[in-house]
């Protein structure tokens, strides 16, 4: 069951579908299971109604097994007036409202009430039961809440035989009302009826168990269905500084003194000064084609954090191996889409590792006004390499820093840390990064901060006005 569904109706039509649970769990299922094991998930606020078939074909011992199943599902819920409310409808040839959504506010009370339900032992009017749930059980007078995207409405129908009335039309009315239908069959069932009741996709909404004795095996599925992971707690987010949990999702924020950038994830200590940024990328044969694709994704991950525009950040790209190639100069692309598309098109050179030559090219050409560099604008070089340079880098690295460029050095695999430190600006601890695996480069992209702030006279009228405005906003 999709946690984000606005309204959910689980039809456990215990009538016999051949749908089976997947043998190999999906990544989402593994994350949910891990979150449940670590106590990092809660159940979404839900109006839940069990609709239980107690027709004569359900023997008393089997009905007891159904009640155990219901109790175990309830145990996995956050029960309460503002969390999950639970009701139970019992049906055969007639329908009986055993528990209203407004009746019990605790798990203990609910479970006790479930254990006391007695079978009606007549026919199987499943369509009538669905209609009753639609008209009565989910009504506000019975404790249902006003329809809201934040509240699911769930009904679990348990039946073991072919319905004696029509279910197709009433099930459609339920789905049209925003209700999601699930059906589960037991033993000898009519597969077509199960499908008529269930929502799409049927693989997710139709289940089958061989007998009532194994109905409990479905407990885990429905516990996971109701589980909404705290993505901030599980770390399954990409916020740079602060993650704020929301139902089934998250949003990012920044620490005091930082501003959330347009990507909704990254933070900047500055309002965004004009900056010229040039990537210098190792395209030697040791990188390998599949890793070179990861490098391009890494570049675009950093681009996402930049304020790319005509007035703010300009980006250039240089690739090197045994020679140096300018992929595109500063200022050619002034929006992120075009810039990222150009990065994706970069072809892999696949030769040697002349890092010193690439650094000289950066100083002599990339930051030259003839190549789009803007006078008086901060200059940032980001050098990536995966191995030891085949030429001397000392003089070229020193010249880049003497020219006032802020230099970042990023190494992967066989990169030499001493070389990275020699390339990086001071303090080196903030300007060089290393990881053993290309697949973990995304972590470097999160850590690498290009915070170039405009130098403003603190006594200027503009500066004083900004500080007063900031103080006033905090007071308010």
Per the structure block, which two tokens stand in for 306? 């930049």
Question: Peptide bond preceding 29: is omega within 30 degrees of 0, i.e. cis?
Answer: no
- CA dihedral 194→197→203→204, nearest 10 degrees, is -130
Q: Among positive and negative, which fits the CA dihedral 302, 263, 4, 249?
A: positive
Please say whether the beta carbons of 257 and 324 come within 8 A.
no
The reported pLDDT for the residue numbered 16 is 39
The reported pLDDT for the residue numbered 340 is 95
Per the structure block, which two tokens stand in for 105? 């506010």
Residues 6+ apart with CB under 8 A from 426: none
Q: Among positive and negative, which fits the CA dihedral 215, 220, 221, 223?
A: positive
Please say whether the beta carbons of 263 and 249 come within 8 A.
no
Please say whether the beta carbons of 302 and 449 come within 8 A.
no
- pTM summary value: 0.48
Listed in sequence order, the DSSP H helices in 272-416 are 289-303, 336-344, 355-361, 394-402
Match 């045994």 to its residue by tokens. Answer: 322
Is residue 2 helix, strand or coil?
coil
The reported pLDDT for the residue numbered 442 is 83
pLDDT tens digit sequence for 164-204: 999 999 989 988 887 888 887 877 778 888 888 888 888 87
Angle between helix axes 289-303 and 336-344 (nearest 10 degrees) is: 170
CA distances from residue 128 to 39, 131, 235 in whole angstroms, order as listed? 39, 5, 46
Please say whether the beta carbons of 90 and 133 come within 8 A.
no
Q: How far apart are CA 461 and CA 434, in angstroms?
A: 43
Please say whether the beta carbons of 209 and 183 come within 8 A.
no
Listed in sequence order, the DSSP H helices in 97-185 are 107-115, 126-132, 168-176
Q: In 3D, which of 165, 212, 170, 164 has the Cα closest to residue 188?
A: 212
The reported pLDDT for the residue numbered 306 is 87
Match 């569904």 to its residue by tokens. Answer: 5
Residues in the chain where the model's pLDDT stays below 50? 1-32, 34-35, 37-40, 271, 454-476
Conformation bin of residue 187: beta by default, left when phi > 0, alpha when psi is -120 to 50: left
Is residue 167 helix, strand or coil?
coil
Residues 6+ apart with CB under 8 A from 313: 272, 274, 275, 276, 277, 306, 307
Please say whether the beta carbons of 318 and 281 come within 8 A.
yes
Please say whether the beta carbons of 330 and 276 come within 8 A.
yes
The reported pLDDT for the residue numbered 42 is 66
Please say whether the beta carbons of 3 and 31 come within 8 A.
no
Q: How far apart are CA 394 and CA 259, in angstroms?
A: 37
Q: How far apart are CA 19 and CA 184, in angstroms?
A: 9
Match 């040791």 to its residue by tokens. Answer: 286
The reported pLDDT for the residue numbered 22 is 43
The reported pLDDT for the residue numbered 272 is 56
- CA dihedral 328→329→331→333, nearest 10 degrees, is 0
The upper half-sphere exposure of residue 262, i.e. CA atoms within 13 Å in the direction of its Cβ, equals 11
């Amino acid at each position: 069951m999709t946690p984000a569904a606005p309204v959910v109706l689980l039809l456990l039509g215990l009538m016999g579908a051949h749908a089976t649970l997947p043998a190999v769990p999906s990544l989402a299922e593994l994350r949910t299971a891990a979150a449940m094991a670590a106590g990092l998930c809660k159940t979404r606020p839900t109006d839940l109604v069990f609709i239980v078939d107690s027709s004569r074909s359900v023997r008393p011992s089997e009905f007891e097994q159904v009640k155990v199943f219901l109790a175990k599902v309830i145990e996995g819920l956050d029960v309460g007036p503002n969390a999950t409310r639970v009701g139970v409808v019992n049906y055969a040839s007639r329908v009986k409202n055993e528990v209203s959504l407004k009746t019990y506010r605790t798990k203990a009370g609910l479970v006790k009430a479930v254990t006391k339900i007695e079978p009606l032992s007549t026919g199987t009017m499943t369509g009538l039961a669905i209609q009753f749930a639609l008209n009565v059980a989910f009504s506000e007078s019975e404790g249902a809440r006003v329809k809201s995207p934040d509240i699911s409405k769930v009904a679990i129908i348990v039946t073991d035989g072919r319905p004696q009335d029509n279910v197709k039309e009433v099930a459609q009315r339920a789905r049209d009302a925003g209700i999601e239908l699930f059906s589960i069959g037991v033993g000898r069932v009519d597969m077509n009826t199960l499908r008529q009741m269930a929502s799409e996709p049927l693989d997710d909404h139709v289940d089958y168990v061989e007998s009532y004795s194994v109905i409990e095996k479905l407990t885990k599925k429905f516990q996971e269905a109701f589980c909404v992971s705290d993505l901030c707690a599980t770390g399954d987010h990409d916020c740079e500084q602060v993650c704020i949990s929301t139902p089934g999702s998250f949003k990012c924020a920044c620490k005091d003194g930082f501003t959330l950038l347009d990507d909704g994830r990254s933070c900047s200590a500055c309002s965004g000064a004009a900056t010229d940024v040039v990537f210098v990328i190792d395209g030697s044969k040791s990188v390998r084609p599949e890793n070179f694709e990861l490098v391009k994704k890494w570049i675009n991950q950093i681009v996402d954090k930049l304020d790319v525009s005509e007035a703010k950040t300009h980006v250039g790209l240089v690739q090197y191996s045994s020679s140096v190639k300018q992929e595109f100069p500063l200022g050619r692309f002034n929006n992120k889409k075009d810039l990222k598309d150009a990065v994706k098109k970069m072809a892999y050179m696949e030769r040697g590792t002349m890092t010193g030559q690439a650094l000289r090219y950066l100083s002599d050409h990339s930051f030259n006004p003839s190549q789009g560099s803007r006078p008086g604008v901060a200059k940032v070089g980001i050098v990536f390499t995966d191995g030891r340079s085949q030429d001397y880098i000392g003089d070229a690295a020193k010249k880049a820093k003497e020219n006032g460029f802020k230099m970042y050095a990023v190494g992967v695999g066989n990169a030499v840390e001493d070389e990275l430190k020699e390339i990086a600006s001071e303090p080196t601890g903030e300007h060089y990064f290393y990881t053993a695996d290309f697949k973990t480069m995304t972590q470097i992209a999160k850590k690498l901060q290009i915070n170039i702030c405009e130098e403003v006279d603190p006594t200027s009228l503009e500066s004083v006005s900004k500080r007063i405005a900031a103080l006033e906003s905090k007071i308010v």
